[in-house]
Structure 1
Amino acid sequence: MRPGRRAALPDPQPGDAFLAGGTWLFSEPQPGLRRLVDLPSLGWTSLSAGAEGLEIGATCRLAELETFEPRAEWAAAALFGPCCNALWGSFKIRNVATVGGNLCLALPAAPMAALAVALQGVCVIWMPGGGERRLQARDFITGAGETALRAGEILRAVHLPAAALRRRAVLRQASLTCHGRSAALLIGTLDAAEGSMSLTVTASVRRPLRLDFPSLPDADGLQAALSGMLDPDRLHDDLHGAADWKRLMTLRLAEAIRRELAA
């Protein structure tokens, strides 16, 4: 189905799937599906910048975000390119895969989740039958492959506030191989005026974590706060790295980020 407007969206039924880029949906058999609802046919704007920040449409392709020219004061927009490349997909994938699809797939290594959570994103969610609700990006992914979307809901956009985009930002990533899926992907941001720091952890954990500090912590303070969050129930153990190794790399990358933000 290719609805041209919101009113034409079908009533949700078992076996439905919302189609954005389809890079994962078409990569393996989906025997339980009976109907695809094409979201790009709705004609959403990919990127809309304003005084309040940047709104990223859920159907925005990674290639569009990667080449976006931000406002000069949006220092944290330097994360867009590295986060898109962290997917380690070919140029063919980045020209089809979407920001919303990467978020809704909810893989622990999803780089768009790291970006949205680190920059204090707010998810705009369309509810079936009309209306919308807003949810902090840090609460959108609830587990490996699990989101807070309810039956029939659609991720419409992610709003990144201007204040978060003005923060200094540092990204660090670790993988088992040079072009492998992220085993740990961390982003640190610093408010130059207030001195507050945030650290977002993804890939090594089942769902994104963000630690907020009122001021830049010292090495011991950061390690103590982060160690307490990296318990076995949160760590993600898979083919891309054992849990204990991911924990170690997360702690090392966090300190590297802290040092760079302190410089």
Structure 2
Amino acid sequence: MDLNTVTEIARPQTREQLPAWSAGDAWLGGGTWLFSEPQTHLRRLIDLTELKWPALTLSETDLSIAATCTVAELGALACPPQWQAAPLINQCCRAFLASFKVWKTATVGGNLCLSLPAGPMIALTAALNGVCTIWKADGSEQKINVADFVTGDRSNVLQAGDLLRQIDIPLSTLTGRATFRQISLTPQGRSAALLIGRLSADGALRLTVTASTARPVQLSFDAIPQADKLRDAILHRIPDALYHNDVHGKPAWRKHMTLRLAEQIRAELQGT
């Protein structure tokens, strides 16, 4: 879709060249959502591609995912065999149910910043204990867990002029066992519930609930719990008002599927 109210495109190459933020500005990464519907309030796009951030950077301790990394680039990552949780990457990429055109253009950072409950990159990076680095409009930096970055349906911690720079994934979270469950109301529909269970080296379980809830919810257990303890924890931690309600699923159904998928994850990780 043409954005016919836009009169300027800025193409900074360094952080120092980022223009001062003003009303009518928007960051341009992949643009798959930005160009999908009218944006009559926009006057200027700030193109992030000329910053040339490396899509994926591997260090001794972390996998850094640039906000401008595309879904296709992330999905093509060659993972070492010791990364038992590596299948989550492809599973979450495919939860987009998008065409190859969208895969090659949509960005990981854009998915987080749009902050839809069904955002699969939110689920992936939250489940892997991802930490966001935010370039604040005042020139400072902020680090925050992905699970805390998203605060609700299409809402997050970003203030005007803030820019998501990258998401850092601790390599230790990729070496443990992990299990993925996702369901949609229709075969090609948006995720109505997307849950990930991950075991750490000491046997602790971290369950990440997304899509069924307006924001990510994480539950931690010292060990794999019994079925009734897991169910009680979910009922206690997720109030009915937090379950998302739209055409892709009613809250009561999303709650039911959350409990069902969580039990499937528990049973699989326990080996039963």
TM-score by length of 2: 0.95
Provide the C-alpha distance between the structure 1 equivalents of 2:123 and 2:13, rounded to a whole number of angstroms: 31
| Separation of aligned partners in 2, 1:131 and 1:48 | 22
What letter is aligned with 2:223?
S
Tell whether 2:260 aligns with 1:252: yes
Q: Distance in 2 between matches of 1:36 and 1:194?
A: 47
* CA deviations over 1:92-142 (Å, ceiling 9, x no partner): 101000000000000000000001110000001111242311001110000
Give the 4+ runs in structure 1 shifted more than 3 A.
none
- SS of 2:85's partner is helix
Q: Please, which runs of 5 or more residues in structure 1 have no aligned partner?
A: none
Please give the alpha-carbon distance, in whole angstroms, between the structure 1 residues aligned to 2:143 and 2:247. 34
Q: Give the secondary structure class of the aligned counterpart of 2:169.
A: strand
- Give the structure 2 partner of residue 43 of structure 1: 52
How far did 1:71 drift? 2.5
Equivalence for 1:20 = 29
How far, CA to CA, are the matches of 1:34 and 1:207 in structure 2? 30
CA distance in 2, matches of 1:158, 1:84: 16
Alignment pair present for 1:227 and 2:235: yes
C-alpha deviations, 1:122-177, integer Å up to 9, x for none?
A: 00111124231100111000010001011211000000001111121110001111
Tell me how far apart the structure 2 counterparts of residues 76 and 148 of structure 1 sit (CA, whole Å).
28
Please list, as runs of the form range in 1=range in 2, the aligned pairs for 1:97-246 lying within 5 A after superposition: 97-191=106-200, 193-246=201-254
Q: Secondary structure at the match of 1:82?
A: helix
List runs of 5+ in structure 2 lacking aligned partners: 1-9
Task: Count residues in correspondence.
Answer: 262
CA distance in 2, matches of 1:78, 1:51: 21
Give the superposition deviation at 1:76. Answer: 1.3
Match of 2:104 among 95, 99, 105: 95
Code of the residue aligned with 1:92 in structure 2: it is K
Deviations 1:163-196 (Å, cap 9, x if unpaired)? Answer: 11112111000111111100000000012x3110
CA RMSD of aligned residues (A): 0.9
Measure the CA separation in 2 of the matches of 1:29 and 1:131: 32
Structure 1 CA distance, aligned partners of 2:177 and 2:18? 40
Q: Tell me if the contact between 1:121 and 1:137 (Cα under 8 Å) persists in the aligned partners.
A: yes
Aligned to 2:63: 54
Instruction: Tell me the CA shift for residue 230 of structure 1.
Output: 2.8
Correspondence for 1:81 among 80, 84, 90:
90
1:51, CA displacement in angstroms? 1.2
C-alpha separation in 2, matches of 1:161 and 1:150: 26
- Percent identity of equivalent pairs: 50
Contact (CA 8 Å) 1:53, 1:165: kept in 2 or not? Answer: no
Query: What is the rounded CA distance, in whole Å, between the counterparts of 1:214 and 1:232 in structure 2?
Result: 26
Give, in whole Å, the separation in 1 of the partners of 2:181 and 2:230: 16
1:53-111 CA-partner distances (Å, limit 9, x unpaired): 20000000000101101222221121111101101111110100000000000000000
Counterpart of 2:22, as a letter, is Q
For residue 74 of structure 2, the aligned residue among 52, 65, 75 is 65
CA distance in 2, matches of 1:65, 1:76: 14
Task: Provide the C-alpha distance between the structure 2 equivalents of 1:76 and 1:103, rounded to a whole number of angstroms.
Answer: 20
Q: For each residue in 1:217-248, what CA deviation from the matched residue of structure 2 results, as whole angstroms up to 9, or x when unmatched? A: 01011000011223222110100011100100
What is the one-letter code of the residue matched to 2:123?
Answer: A
CA drift at 1:259? 0.7
